[in-house]
Amino acid sequence: MPFLELFDETLDINSTENYELSVQASPDELSFCILDTLRNKFVLLRSYESEDKAKFDPNGLSEIINKDDFLTRHFRKINIITPSSKSTLVPGPLFDGSKKDDYFRFNQIASEDEKIMVNKLRDPDIFLLFSLPEGITNTLNSSFPGSRFMHQLKPLFQYISFNRRSIGINNVHVHLEGDYLNMVIFDQNTLKFCNTFHYNTISDIQYYVLYVLRRMNIRQEETIYFSGRTLNKKEILSSFSNYLSAIRFAVPEGNYTFSYVFNETELHKFLTIFSAVNCE
């Protein structure tokens, strides 16, 4: 299977109680990074991807976790990012936990083998509801007992919140997962737009992004940020260069640093994993 690994020479498998682990798990991938909390430095990035666009089933994910020399260790803290194309947002003042299934099904269709999860976001004050296949949730609960799951929008919102007041009028962010994208637009104070679009080709991505920008009256000169594991920089630049004048690829930022071994890595592909350490 496709495999990526970057690690700092100071990484010590016997010191994981001083490390914070962030794992992103889905049928498309299992990736994780390790933060040395004593130095606030990321010291490991490791990623497994399925072969030939096949999907990981729960047994496949469990096998990877059990065979990995780090994922079975005890960590100071563990963050689990569980991407899902099915999500909905509810304003904090209107949320009633006993009605979460009703809220979710108002906008989404949940199958019988899916669990509806809830994340609380502080900025903005909203509840994020999303669904996950029961098999994957059971595997992750068994492998990382007591850990909380977070949708990819939670670390993405955290990243945008950290940066948006220094950027300008609007912060426009496009985050790509396996076959769908999340598009999020903030001004300096307010969430203006958040939606998910399924795509097959780069032309689909181009259509959705340009359509939303036009409907939201966002000028072509404003900066558009891209991130995501499936992102091809050259393809994005060639597809949008005639329409957008300021394309950027989001670089993780926070109260941490990176080992020099990450210097040549396209960190925007793993933005949500690195940003998870800033989430409460």
Give all domains of the chain, ordered by start, each with its CATH number.
87-136 (no CATH), 164-249 (3.30.420.260)
d(CA 143, CA 180) in angstroms, rounded, equals: 27
Q: Determine the pLDDT at residue 2.
A: 60
Q: Determine the pLDDT at residue 167.
A: 57
For the full predicted model, state whether its pTM sits above 0.75: yes
Q: Determine the pLDDT at residue 166.
A: 59
Using 70 as the pLDDT threshold, list the residues of the chain that sit under it: 1-2, 52, 164-168
Using DSSP, state whether 144 is helix, strand or coil: coil
Residue with tokens 């080709």: 201
d(CA 27, CA 113) in angstroms, rounded, equals: 15
d(CA 121, CA 94) in angstroms, rounded, equals: 14
d(CA 41, CA 39) in angstroms, rounded, equals: 5
Residue 75 is encoded by which pair of tokens? 């960590």
**Mean pLDDT, all residues of the chain:** 92
Helix (H) or strand (E) holding 160: helix 153-163
Q: Determine the pLDDT at residue 168.
A: 61
In the DSSP assignment, the letter for residue 145 is T
Residue with tokens 């040549």: 264
d(CA 169, CA 106) in angstroms, rounded, equals: 32
d(CA 42, CA 211) in angstroms, rounded, equals: 37
Please list, in sequence order, all residues whose beta carbon lies within 8 angstroms of the beta carbon of residue 256, skipping any fewer than 6 positions away. Answer: 35, 40, 41, 42, 274, 277
Residue 121 is encoded by which pair of tokens? 């976001």
Using DSSP, state whether 45 is helix, strand or coil: strand
Q: Determine the pLDDT at residue 103.
A: 94
